[in-house]
Amino acid sequence: AQSVAQPEDQVNVAEGNPLTVKCTYSVSGNPYLFWYVQYPNRGLQFLLKYITGDNLVKGSYGFEAEFNKSQTSFHLKKPSALVSDSALYFCAVREVNSGYSTLTFGKGTMLLVSP
């Protein structure tokens, strides 16, 4: 079985400061890892993914995430937060070669960036 944990319900950061949204995962084999963002009253939008290769993945809107196999983590980061980054962020995992395309999502972390 695969699972994702997002330990923080909410992250508060001031505009211009770096931000980190935490994610840890559990799969039997190797993972595919994803971050999605949901703005108010909208669907989930794909931000970035780790499939293979470089552990540091760069995505949309200046976000990046680092895959750490030993710590089974995939934390989302951005060097300088914007107020417009305020949204709900979901981490998701799929096991490589699981045969299915389904993703397992975390419960989400609300990011609030203050001016």
Partner 1 sequence: DAGVIQSPRHEVTEMGQEVTLRCKPISGHNSLFWYRQTMMRGLELLIYFNNNVPIDDSGMPEDRFSAKMPNASFSTLKIQPSEPRDSAVYFCASTRTDGNTIYFGEGSWLTVV
Residues in contact with partner 1 by the rule CB under 8 A:
32, 34, 36, 41-46, 49, 51, 90, 94, 100-108
Cβ closest to partner 1, residue 14 vs residue 112: 112
Shortest approach of partner 1 to residue 36 CB, angstroms?
8
Shortest approach of partner 1 to residue 108 CB, angstroms?
6
Shortest approach of partner 1 to residue 15 CB, angstroms?
27
Spatial separation of the C-alpha atoms in residues 73 and 39, rounded to whole Å: 24
Cβ closest to partner 1, residue 25 vs residue 106: 106
Burial of 60 (0-12, 13-18, 19+ CB in 10 A): exposed
Q: Tell me the Ramachandran region of residue 84: left when phi exceeds 0, alpha when psi lies from -120 to 50, beta otherwise.
A: alpha
